[in-house]
Amino acid sequence: MPIGVDEWVAQHGDRHDAGTGWRRAAARLDRRVGWWPRLALALLVGLIFGQLASNVNVETVAVNSLIYAILALGLNIAVGWTGLLDLGYVAFFGFGAYGYAIFSSHALGTGGVGGAPLPSIESIPIVLVAAGTFGAAIGMMSLRVSGDYLAIVTLFVGQAFVEFVNNVDPGTLGGVNGLYGLNPIHGFGGQIITPIGYYYFALIVCAVLMGLLHMLDNSRTGRAWKAVREDELAAEAMTIPTGAVKVMAISFGAVVGALAGTIFAAQQDNVFPTNFTANILILIYACLVLGGAGSIAGAVLGGIVVTAGEQMVSSPTDAGYLFYGLIVLALVLKVRPWRMLGAVIAATIALGVVLHAIVGAISSSAVAGSPGSGGWIGSLVSHWVIVPSKAVGYGNVLYILMICMVFALIHVRERYRLALLVPTIYVAACCWESRLIVNPSITAQILIGAILIATMAARPQGLLGSMRVEVV
Amino acid sequence: MTDAGPAPGGAAAGGASAQPLLELCGLGIHFGGLRALSGLDLSVADREIVSIIGPNGAGKTTVFNAITGVYRPSEGQIRLAGDSIGGQPPHRITRRGIARTFQSLRLFLNMTVRENVITATYGATKATPVESMLRLPRARREQREVEAVAEEVLSFFGERLAGYRWDQPAYSLSYANRRRLEIARALATRPRLLLLDEPAAGMNPNETHEVTELIGRLREELALAILVIEHDMHVVEGISDRVVALDHGVKITEGAFHEVANHPAVIEAYLGKDPEALAEA
């Protein structure tokens, strides 16, 4: 029997799976394993990480990663699924944190409301319900304005929240000094006081939330949200009350954001208005966009990658791993065939060694500085990169040069690209060692921006997002 | 399917029997000073197929938008089985039994074929988000039900929208299949009246012929009343019990296909005045 086109297309999946090799095997496994074994595996990895985590610093970063993961999960509801550009989201985070702070500190007493702090098992549900209501009120705006206009209006909500806690009733809300001395999360006769305790708490909250959101994603509500994103008029014509559905999306997102806020406030032991500025909003968006809007696993991965990446930059050793690791990763992914990859790496090393020797012979002060990286990376590159004794001005020039070279790299023809790649990497490394690593907080922003640009160019749908078709 | 109500003796008789399923009385839609529609009377009986024809800009799609609640009527009445539905939001009107397709396809492109159809069952299901999140009994039962609805509705299109396509994203479908999916999605709302906006637009002669057959089957097998906007006169001739011709938002004439097609006002609307007649005037 001749095989018609339809049968041929229908068998595509089987043919795809039938092959050998580790890639096909991975693809087969990927198709067969359901969502909950994956979630269980991720939880297991998280628990093992918790066991291995050795110092408070790592544990705190891990808690923060999970808080951002939860925040990204909440943002995903309105932005990734429903397609509403909600720029007031950080207000929900702040609402949860301040809500927890008020109920779990003596602010409640001083504000004239009276009474002792509530246990967390009472205060957190109260805060979440209040946040849902607050979110619904903000969500009402989506009934009147949409698209860019909604973004502008909600942006003011975020700003208004910061101004509100800054200025209204400093006796209760603490003004610029914030609220401090909060009770830790407690209930059922126990309390969580260590970072590792908060890590496990946030891990379980995050895993449960992922499960619940997965269920919601595949329910009538989740489908209605995505239908509104795809085509609001068609959704309305297909029995979906789009207004109510949009309000619900923002409200649900508010609850998740507030949940992250309560954990944040409890583990940090205090809240300040500056914890909830537009910078944080941008960071949450970066998590979601990097991980892949619309994807639950992507939101969590994005939260972890962005937060962990930001923290790694502030330690000279870890920053080196991150910087050189990313360069090697990008080379391995993009440069083919293998001997070309080898040639590029060898040429880069040779260029550095030769230049270092030449410059060192001309002027010893030009190579007198030590690289910013610590540990073995620092000693390894000390005879490779050129770091003069006065590194700052030199580094600034290199930074501009690096950007120009990257631009050139993007625009030159294919055959010159490999040749230009070698000096670009070398200039970037010199710039990194002499200048960027000296200001970790600024470098973290630059690096996250660079990672975002690179990811968006290579995978516009984000790390785990699925390709979306807009117009046909 | 849905309760067909008192079926008229002959479908071709034209909404004369008892109460029409859909009735427009003196419907007008005004945008500021622009009268997109005025004084339109139109009725569709149970199991009747009525076509609306007219040149571009005549107001055909405006009629659909008014019936489905996208536009609020400026004047006049819209009644479904005797109940006034004018001014209700579209999702309510669809729940009462009027489903539509769109002239410029409006599928949920990044959802699968199956999801597209299941999405249209939103109004027929009741599980709250909390029930869905915890997979409580009602949510599970409704999920099974709507998946059965999706299979039933998609099976209506047989080989053309065959099973392996159901889990592919809608954007991967061919143009003709997108039109089929739009109809499938509309059917999933369990309508009594189906509004098809140019179902044969952009199709080849073979596919156009299939559309004609499909519309007939929709009436025979699903007992639907159908209101069609169509430019392809072969389709209109093949399916219509009655044809309504519009121009400049006003009904010019109404009746059987051949009466309408040969009506001088219709020819004038499409082709302009006869030059000889103009010269005499």
Q: Report if residue B1 sits inside a domain.
A: no
How many CB contacts within 8 angstroms connect chain A with chain B? 116
Specify if A5 maps to a domain.
no
For residue A457, being part of any structural domain is answered with: no
Q: What are phi and psi of A217, to 5 degrees?
A: -55, -35
When pLDDT is averaged across residues A370-387 and rounded to a whole number, the result is 85
Looking up tokens 């993961």 gives A69
CA of B12, closest CA in chain A: separation in Å? Answer: 29
Distance from CA of B56 to the nearest CA of A (A): 22
> Is residue B227 situated within a structural domain?
yes
Q: Are B97 and A220 in contact (CB under 8 A)?
A: no
| pLDDT above 70 for B59 | yes
Domain shared by A90 and A175, yes or no: yes
pLDDT averaged over chain A?
Answer: 88
- Which tens digit of pLDDT belongs to each residue from A251-279? 999 999 999 999 999 999 899 999 999 99
A143 shares contact with chain B (CB less than 8 Å)? no
- Residue A271 falls inside a structural domain: yes
- DSSP sequence for A20-63: -HHHHHHHHHHHHS-HHHHHHHHHHHHHHHHHH--SHHHHHHHH
Asked if B129 lies within 8 A of A216 by C-beta distance, the reply is: yes
Q: What is the ipTM of this complex?
A: 0.89
What is the mean pLDDT of the segment spanning A20-48? 84
Cβ <8 Å between A212 and B133? yes
Looking at residue B184, its pLDDT comes to: 95
The angle at the Cα of A55, spanning A51 to A57, to the nearest 5 degrees, equals 120
Are A228 and A304 members of one domain?
Answer: yes
Average pLDDT of chain B, as a whole number: 89
Dihedral sign computed on CA atoms, order A12, A14, A20, A23: positive
Task: Please judge whether B129 and A469 are an interchain contact, meaning their C-beta atoms are less than 8 angstroms apart.
Answer: no
Claim to verify: residue B33 and residue B90 sit in the same structural domain: yes
| 8 Å CB contact of B119 and A224 | yes
**Domain stops at, among A296, A313, A330:** A313
Nearest to A328 by CA among A377, A370, A292, A289: A377
What are the start-end ranges of the H helices in A269-390? 278-291, 296-313, 316-334, 338-362, 375-381
Q: Has residue B239 been placed in a domain?
A: yes
Cα gap B106→A233, rounded to integer Å: 8
Contacts of B66 (CB under 8 A, 6+ apart): B24, B27, B29, B37, B73, B78
Task: Look at residues A120, A109, A281, A256 and name the one whose alpha carbon lies nearest to residue A179.
Answer: A109
Q: Give mean pLDDT, residues A234-240.
A: 95
| Residue A290 shares a structural domain with residue A323 | no
Burial (Cβ within 10 Å: 0-12, 13-18, ≥19) of residue A437: buried
Q: Select from B174, B190, B206 the last residue of a domain.
A: B190
Residue B73 is encoded by which pair of tokens? 């009527």
Q: Determine contact, residues B48/B216, Cβ cutoff 8 Å.
A: no
Gap between the Cα atoms of B181 and B163, Å rounded:
13
**How large is the average pLDDT for residues B122-142?**
94
* Per-residue pLDDT at B2 exceeds 70: no
The pTM score is 0.88
Same domain for A150 and A79? yes
- B199 and B88 in a common domain: yes
Residue ranges of A 223-252 with Cβ closer than 8 A to chain B: 223-224, 226-227, 230-231, 233-242, 248, 252
* Number of C-beta neighbours around residue B3 at 10 A: 7
DSSP string, A332-364: HHH--SHHHHHHHHHHHHHHHHHHHHHHHHH-G
Angle at B144 between CA A215 and CA A255, to 5 degrees: 20
Same domain assignment for residues B143 and B281? no
Listed residues A260, A286, A313: the one ending a domain: A313
Q: What was the pLDDT predicted at B5?
A: 42
Closest listed residue to residue A150, CA positions, set A242, A61, A73, A88: A88
Report the Cα–Cα distance between both ends of chain A, in Å, rounded.
35
Q: Does A469 contact B118 at a Cβ distance shorter than 8 Å?
A: no
pLDDT at B89: 95
CB-CB contact of A472 with B109 (8 Å): yes
Contact between chains at A227 and B108 (C-beta distance less than 8 A): yes
Angle at A300 between CA A295 and CA A305, to 5 degrees: 120
Question: Residue B55: helix, strand or coil by DSSP?
Answer: coil
Q: What confidence category does residue B9 fall into, taking pLDDT thresholds of 50, 70 and 90?
A: very low
At residue A376, the pLDDT reads 84
**Shortest Cα distance from B63 to chain A (angstroms)?**
15
pLDDT of residue A448: 82
Name residue B229's beta-bridge partners.
Answer: B52, B197
- Find the mean pLDDT for residues B191-219: 93
Does one domain contain both B203 and B271?
yes
- The boundaries of the domain holding residue B23 are 18-97+194-281
- Mean pLDDT value of segment B178-199: 95
Chain B positions contacting chain A at CB under 8 Å are: 68, 70, 89-91, 94-95, 99-100, 102, 106-111, 115, 118-125, 127, 129, 132-135, 139, 142-143, 146, 159, 162, 164, 169, 171, 185-186, 188-189
Least confident of A110-114, A137-141, A183-187, A238-242: A110-114
Name the residue with higher pLDDT: B17 or B272. Answer: B272
What pLDDT, on the 0 to 100 scale, is given for residue B198?
94
**pLDDT at res. B165:** 87
* A299 and A348 both lie in a single domain: no
Please report whether residue B103 resides in a domain: no
Which tens digit of pLDDT belongs to each residue from A411-436? 998 888 888 999 999 999 999 998 88
CATH number of the domain within which A80 lies = 1.10.3470
Q: Which of B190, B222, B244 is the last residue of a domain?
A: B190
Q: Which residue of B has its CA nearest to A234?
A: B106
Looking at the structure, tell me whether residues B280 and B203 fall in a common domain: yes
Q: Is residue A467 part of a domain?
A: no
Tell which of B122, B126, B143, B168 to mutate to test the A interface (max A CBs under 10 Å): B122
Q: Looking at the structure, do residues A248 and A280 belong to the same domain, yes or no?
A: yes
Element (H, E) at A127: helix A120-139
Assigned domain for B9 exists: no
- Which residues from B are below 8 Å from A220, CB to CB? 118, 121-122, 125, 127, 132, 142, 146
pLDDT of residue B10: 40
Q: Please tell me whether residues B91 and B201 are part of one structural domain.
A: yes
* A399 and A285 share one domain: no
* CATH number of the domain bearing residue B32: 3.40.50.300
| Same domain, residue pair B29 and B88 | yes
Searching chain B, which residue's CA lies closest to the CA of residue A231? B108
Query: According to the model, what pLDDT value does residue B17 have?
Result: 52
Tokens in use for B214? 């499909």
Pair (B78, B183) in one structural domain: no
Compute the average pLDDT of residues A193-203.
92
* Residues B91, B23 share a domain: yes
One domain, residues A336 and A386: yes
Q: Which of B136, B166, B190 is the last residue of a domain?
A: B190
What per-residue confidence (pLDDT) applies to A192? 86
Interface membership of A469 toward B (CB under 8 Å): yes
CA closest to A219 among chain B residues: B132
Q: Are residues B221 and B275 in the same domain?
A: yes
CA-based nearest distance B60→chain A, Å: 18
When pLDDT is cut at 50, 70 and 90, the band that residue B149 belongs to is: very high
Chain B residues in contact with A469 (beta carbon < 8 A): 109-110, 169, 171
A214 lies in the same domain as A257: yes
Q: Please tell me whether residues A99 and A220 are part of one structural domain.
A: yes
pLDDT, tens digit (0-9, with 9 covering 90-100), for A290-330: 999 999 999 999 999 999 888 887 777 778 888 898 899 88
Beta bridge partners of B42: B24
Q: Long-range contact list for A398-407, CB < 8 A, 24+ apart?
A: A398/A427, A398/A430, A398/A431, A398/A434, A398/A435, A399/A431, A399/A435, A399/A436, A401/A427, A401/A431, A402/A427, A402/A428, A402/A431
A29, part of any domain: no
In this structure, how many other beta carbons lie within 10 angstroms of the beta carbon of residue B202? Answer: 12
**A468 to chain B, closest Cα gap in Å:** 6
Half-sphere CA count of A100, side-chain side, radius 13 A:
34
Please give the tally of structural domains in chain B. 2
Q: Are residues B216 and B235 in the same domain?
A: yes
The chain A residue lying nearest B103, using CA atoms, is: A234
Whether B157 maps to a domain, the answer reads: yes
Of A223, A239, A472, the CB nearest to B123: A239
User: What pLDDT sits at residue B11?
Assistant: 41
Question: Residue A326 belongs to what domain range?
Answer: 319-438
Q: How many domains, chain A?
A: 2
* Domain identity same for A256 and A370: no
Quick check: is A394 in a domain?
Answer: yes
Residues B150 and B44 placed together within one structural domain of the fold: no
Token readout for A176 is: 């610029």
pLDDT in tens, A166-175: 998 887 788 8
CB–CB contact A238 B125 (8 Å): no
Identify whether residues A298 and A331 lie together within a single domain: no
Question: What interhelical angle do A56-75 and A242-268 show, nearest 10?
Answer: 170
* Strands lying side by side in the sheet with B242-247: B98-100, B193-197, B225-229, B49-53, B242-247, B250-255
Taking CB atoms and an 8 Å limit, are A219 and B132 in contact across chains? yes
